[in-house]
Structure 1
Amino acid sequence: MVRRVDGTTAAVWVEVARAATVTVRLTDDGGAWSAPTFAVHGHHYALVEVDGLPRDTRVPYEVLVDDDVCWPAPAATFPPSTLAARADDAPVRLAFGSCRTSVPHDDVHHLTHGVDALRTYALALADGEAGQAPDLLLLLGDQVYADATSAEMREFIEARRDISAEPGDELADFEEYAHLYRLAWGEPALRWLLSWLPSLMIFDDHDVRDDWNTSLSWRRQMEATSWWHGRIVAALGSYWVYQHLGNMSATERAEDPLWAELRRRQEAAPGTEVDLTDAVDAFAERADREPESYRWSYTHPLGGSRLVVVDSRAARELEPARRSMLDDDETAWLDEQLTGDVEHLLVATSLPFLLPMGLHRVEALDEALAEGRLGRHLARAAEWLRQELDLEHWGAFSRSFTAVAQMVTEVADGRRGAAPSSVLFLSGDVHFSYITEVDRESGSRMLQLVCSPIRNPLPRALRAFAALGSHGARPLGALLSRLARLPEPPWRWHGIAGPWFDNNLAVLEVDGEQLRTVWLGGRVVGASEDRPDLVAVADLELDVPPAGTAHRRPLARVHRDGRRGLLARLRRRTGRRR
């Protein structure tokens, strides 16, 4: 997997079957970089740092395990895997989305889970039918589902242990996480895409368990079980290995305590594969017990813009008197990252910062009731609703919502450096997609873009509820908030596009002050079940006037038929069109 590409340096992450030296070799000029494997719970990994990549040019590479070329596979039918460093002045193209279940791609599972938007996009890119490729894939949570396992995953679990005992057919340990990641990323089209397109990631609840860290009550329920400790240690340890290790820059990795321990052990025993199992488990246990001991959030430059990826799960403060989405240390870190002097500021958080306003008010009300605003009986009912209906987004952590909104307002008003053209929140989680805009007369535009799910559609019975929350819940939420005497939110915002419920992957293009977006999905009507057509779920051009001017132009032009907008424009560049 090609992970973070910084400047002319790329991180290539590899899992192999045995202890070895892994080499990444450019096939054009023979440049090569190597790293020894390290072991965790009997699995073998390496991360190879490649530097000196040419700008704006794709160069093919191959992976050697010891002296044997193991990638690309001898019978590979996909284009060569390549590495590329983007030109500094080129437009930024970012694909993003969340929530992807790993089930077969056949007619039965297309009916139950829909068409896999990420796999469809991979096949279209490989065939040259998706237009100009993005620079980066940002996966915003629920890369794997530890608590809702597929038939194939359950078969693996049942071969190891009795599923009549807790935690049943949910994941129990690192070995099961390793197999789940193999199922999620091992399908040929995905293996090729992840070897070709740089990726960054952040977890959400299902990477661990539904409602992870919703409240102190939820946390105590989990800690009372026989299996939670093993789950959280395996979840965070495997997340560091499979996801977070590739999120860091080379400099950040060198300062990472677990990576530093690996390097120390390698230097103490050269030529021997280091077993890092004990250190990974101890690290994960501490990261759960003392969230302030480790930071999962990170930043990434995007040309003249900046991406800030925020952990909205592990860094929570759950004590009712101090309840916050982000603890004090995380809040202070985010405060330092949210600055101007960039073209666009992108803030990625798995949970939407801006839900539809009616739903935001409902969640804020539920938080107040659960904290005892109107008595103990209503507090118990509100806690039950919070867990049953997933009422645990930013609106349900009012202290953090207000603090972050204030930070972003200062950025957008030019009080933290020159105001960017826009502040964009990128999110997933909710299993429907939409765009909202904060009501402002001047300064930076503030937009929330949500892309969810990649493959895990919202049941039809719940779509009406989500649509009601996007439109009809606004007056009800306002009325209930007044009755409970809740303070008004620091912003007001309104819907621009959506909601739509298709499986999809969003592609955002940032070109100077201009923003263009397209939500892409797959369709099998008239196509092979195994080779879906790539279709535009929604295709939008976002008008972003210069910072400091009044916001009076139409924000978005929506092209649902795919004949205009970003998707068509990208296809015209390559001479291909569906």
Structure 2
Amino acid sequence: MTIPSTGPMLFLRAASPDGMRVAATCLRPQDAAPPRFATDRDLKAEALVTRAGATLWRVMMDLPLGRATYTCDGTEYTVATDTTGDMTIAFASCNGQERGDLDRPPEDRNSMWAHLAKRLDDETIPLLLNGGDQIYADEVTQAHSLSEGWPKNVPHNLTGSEWSDLRDALAKAFFERYATQWAQAGFADVVARVPSLCVWDDHDICDGWGSLRRRAQTSDVAKVLYSAAREAYLLFQFGCTRTERPEICLQGSEALSWRVDLPGVTIVAPDLRATRDKRKIMSDDAWAAFRPALQDTQNRTFVISSVPALGPRLSLVERAMKLTPRMEDYEDDLRDQWQSYAHRAEWQRFLSALMKLHDEGDRRVTVLSGEIHLAMRATMRTDTGPLHQLVASGISHPAPREALATCLSLLAKLGEAPLKGHPIRLHGLPDKTRPYTAERNYLLLRRTGENWDARWQLEDSGETNALPI
């Protein structure tokens, strides 16, 4: 395939009262000249990798406070860089679908991205939080005969030549997938003007990564698949090579958890995929790196949990599914969740850490999640007031049937309290009566003075009223 010229795409490295530092990437044919970037001066682009007939380039830019501009190959882009006062942060997740994602009419697939892009003409948004499943890479395994039977039918061990052949094929397939998807109209319009922070989820690797059966997860094919997906994630969602570790990432673990501090706001994103298996969500090393990230935070802390941290009693459904072999194919979807019976102790540990920070002084913690292809919200009772969770999921993934939203809303009535005395409650979005809303969506977090509120932009219902958080 011919890879289209793509970009620029901006990635936040730091924000301060002086402005922003961002990495900007773009793709060009490998025989083309490097892209020409400039701010108040010309900037030299460096090649990160050449693959599949294209080169991914990067420049680092320091953008001054206010509405900064830069040019790429003569096209000018404006970036809102002021995070010191009133501002809006966008949050989105699930940018694709499992099969035939790029075969859909682009106007339909990207309609919510186009909506967000149009909003930028009237509203300054200095940051886009990408909450997981930025790419649906499930079909990448079809690129080689050794992986096309994934995850049920793959060889457990590979020879040296098989390993390298598979590695090359999967690396090329991930590269082509990202390149094609990153060029999508709407999405490309947003990410050239709004710096991103990204956390990955399973579809950025493969469906159910970390929750699959042990034989598949420990195979050589799995190791090659994960390595290729991780490199592509670093290239296309951080703007760095596989040998670099972005400065925002926490040290001491294989996991790519990160923390970014803005004026008055801390954003923490634990990596819930890199070290996951059927019995744990984060390894001991990942936990050891994550705990200090919840110390000395700003008054407002947003924690991105790629799978919802507050939810209904899904463990009941998970146990029921084990009673019939016909339902075992869906077991990994429930094992993915914090609420799985296999993860209950770790879930309690996670919620305790969030609640401890939430109850310190005048700090407030809000959890942001995606993954479920629905919009919803929940609260957990704490001694100092409710800890909010906001879920925006499915910016381009088709909305599920209304029946799923109805069933989950009924399940939510059972209640859940993994921490004794701190019950979790699910609530309807503003103006909605049931907890789950089956529409494509993205989320807006607005700070006015010292106060924050949340609004969901829903595909059919429009923008909700503000929810104070």
**1:398-547 to 2 correspondence within 5 Å?**
398-414=344-360, 418-420=361-363, 422-440=364-382, 442-460=383-401, 463-472=402-411, 474-475=413-414, 491-497=422-428, 498-522=435-459, 536-542=462-468, 544=469
> How far apart are the structure 1 equivalents of 2:249 and 2:412?
45
CA spacing shift, 1:105–1:58, aligned 2, 3 Å: farther
Distance 2:110 2:215 in 1: 37
Matches within 5 A, 1:94-493: 94-101=89-96, 102-103=101-102, 106=105, 110=108, 116-122=111-117, 124-125=118-119, 128=121, 131-148=122-139, 166=149, 173-214=170-211, 218-224=213-219, 227-245=221-239, 253=246, 293-318=253-278, 323-339=279-295, 342-355=298-311, 357-359=312-314, 361-362=315-316, 366=319, 384=328, 387=331, 389-396=333-340, 397-414=343-360, 418-420=361-363, 422-440=364-382, 442-460=383-401, 463-472=402-411, 474-475=413-414, 491-493=422-424
Q: Check whether the contact 2:252–2:289 (CA below 8 A) recurs between aligned residues.
A: no
Q: Where does structure 1 differ by over 6 angstroms across 4 or more consecutive aligned residues?
A: 160-164, 254-257, 380-383
TM-score of the aligned structures, taking structure 2 as reference length: 0.79
TM-score, with normalisation over the residues of structure 1? 0.65
**SS at 1:329 equivalent:** helix
RMSD between superposed Cα atoms in Å:
3.7
> Equivalents in 2 of 1:247, 1:231: separation in Å?
17
1:547-562 pair list within 5 angstroms: none
Contact 1:81–1:192 at 8 Å: present in 2 too?
no
Residue 33 (str. 1) matches residue 32 (str. 2):
no
Q: Give the C-alpha shift of residue 345 in structure 1.
A: 1.0
Q: 1:238 Cα shift?
A: 1.0
Which residue is 1:47 aligned to? 58
Please state how far the C-alpha of 1:492 moved relative to its aligned partner. 0.8
- C-alpha distance in structure 2 between counterparts of 1:472 and 1:256, whole Å: 37
Structure 1 residues 87, 309: closer, same or farther in 2, change over 3 A? Answer: closer
Residue 71 of structure 2 corresponds to which residue in structure 1? 62
Counterparts of 1:324 and 1:382, CA distance in 2: 25
Question: What's the offset of the Cα at 1:132?
Answer: 1.3
3-state SS, counterpart of residue 367 of structure 2: strand
Does residue 4 of the first structure (1) align with residue 28 of the second (2)? no
Superposed CA deviations along residues 169-196 of structure 1, whole A, max 9, x for unmatched, are: xx95111111111221112332222111
Kept in 1, the 8 Å contact 2:11–2:238? The answer is: no
CA distance 1:424–1:254, change in 2 (3 Å): closer
Structure 1 residue runs of 5 or longer lacking an equivalent are 64-68, 73-79, 258-290, 371-376, 482-486, 524-534, 545-578
List alignment gaps of at least 5 residues for structure 2. Answer: 1-8, 152-165, 429-434
2:57 aligned counterpart, secondary structure:
strand
User: Residue deviations 1:408-450, cap 9 Å, x none?
Assistant: 2221222xxx331x2100000011111111123x425310100
Residues 28 and 34 in structure 2, CA contact (< 8 A), matched pair in contact too: no
Deviation at 1:96, TM superposition (A): 0.8
Distance change in 2, residues 1:94/1:164 (3 Å)? closer
Structure of higher CA gyration radius: 1
More helix by share: 1
Partner SS, residue 419 of structure 1: coil
Give the Å deviation of 1:255.
9.8
Code of the residue aligned with 1:297 in structure 2: it is: S
Q: Secondary structure of 1:234's partner?
A: helix
Q: Relative to structure 1, is the Cα distance of residues 132 and 229 closer, same or farther in structure 2, using a 3 angstrom cutoff?
A: same
Query: Which digits, 9 at most, give the CA deviation of each residue in 1:127-183, with x for residues without a partner?
Result: x3xx4132111111111111158xxxx9xx7xx777995459xx9511111111122
Count the aligned residue pairs: 427
Percent identical residues = 21
